[in-house]
Amino acid sequence: MIYLDAAATTPVRREVIEAMFPFLTNQFGNPSSHHGLGEAAAEALAGARREAAEVLGCQPEELTFTSGGTEANNLAVKGIALARRASNSRRNRIVISSIEHPAVFESVEYLARVHGFVVEVVPVGPDATVDPAVFASVLGAGTDVALAAVMYANNEVGTVQDISVLAHIATSAAVPFHTDAVQGAGWLDLAVYELGVDSLALSGHKIGAPKGVGLLYLRGGVQCEPLVHGGGQERGLRSGTENVAFAIALATALGLVDADRQARVQHAETVREMFIAQVLDRVPGALLTGHRTRRLPSVASFCFPGTSGESVLLELERNDVICSSGSACAAGSDEPSMVLTAMGIERSVAQTALRFSFGADIMSETLEKACDELAAAVRRVQRLRS
């Protein structure tokens, strides 16, 4: 099998399993318990927080472990917006890009529907980039803005935003800036102070940790209303008994992908460029989506006009090539990708999209084989539709 859907999920790394295993077995204490077993769990949890903070270049107390990237995004978007408006009722606007993940889109839709916030969407260009000048124009003076959010790297086409520039614009207007960095982890710089963001969301299963764990960076001093109430764990931001084993797993995975990031990026960019060139050369009409160079090293996404993305996907799977017709988080929908249509791609063309995403250990020979299968699959589907 050739697995080219790493943007959807990755296998758990052996080092991660070994690090978390004791806390699923004999070291099972509740971190809130005041006895030896509980205190050992609390210290392990604190150690995981310190390890993650080293990668993000922040203070450990600025990190909150969550159940995943979706919860981290929900907590940041809803929590910051509600807290900001509670302190000043004029702060009733939320500014986001047109290509945000559903975790952000649905969160702001909830805030608009239930709490009366006004949502303003910043358009993107044909390459899925946010123009800083347009972002600044929509933001305006910022006095009535509760939150601004732009994702770091897009989960469908791989375009990477100039987050530090956008964050600076928001900061200059005294507006908190959130970024969904779920896809960027392991590939992009996560030094939050240098990026200038006020909050940042991560997910474990994209980088070799299990599904069910995420992380939210929240800059010290930024007010945030909790979404889950109870015993006051995670400094009151997320009540509930902490999942020590999974926190350790996420911190371990973060450390592993950060340690060799430069070499991984260089290799992935090389094989990605080879794959893109071969697809554009060998598959007639293939359309590369996203920014040509400012993209994740691990993602190559295309539209194949005159086909059906789902049909090509099934043809590839029959020949042991696993990829995606878009975001795994929108599985089951027959609507064209909101990201692609926001980029100006026609609905009929957007429905032909396929995303190929891979880990850093992918070999060029593997991608050459995948290209062989892709070219054959597109030809078969085109013959059936003609």
Antiparallel, parallel or unpaired: β 299-303 and 287-289: antiparallel
Rounded to whole angstroms, what are the CA distances from 238 to 18, 73, 217, 243, 245?
27, 13, 13, 12, 17
Task: Tell me, yes or no, if 329 is annotated catalytic.
Answer: yes
Contact 67, 103 (CB under 8 A): no
For the chain, give the number of residues. 386
Asked if residue 170 lies in contact with residue 176, where contact means CB atoms within 8 angstroms, the answer is yes
Per DSSP, what are the bridge partners of residue 145?
93
Answer yes or no: are the C-beta atoms of 244 and 337 closer than 8 Å. no
The whole-angstrom separation of Cα 94 and Cα 42 is 37
Q: Which helix (H) or strand (E) holds 281?
A: helix 261-282
| Dihedral of alpha carbons 226, 228, 229, 232, sign | negative
Contact 246, 205 (CB under 8 A): no
**Complete DSSP assignment for 132-147:** HHHHHHHHTT-TTEEE
Token pair recorded at residue 308: 């059906």
Tell me phi and psi for residue 3, to 5 degrees. Answer: -95, 110
Candidate list 303, 323, 329, 371, residue with the active-site label? 329
What span, in angstroms and rounded, lies between the C-alpha atoms of 362 and 306?
Answer: 29
Cα(299)–Cα(4) distance, rounded to whole angstroms?
9
d(CA 6, CA 270): 17
In sequence order, the 6+-apart residues with CB closer than 8 A to the CB of 89 are: none
Q: Which of the residues are catalytic?
A: 329
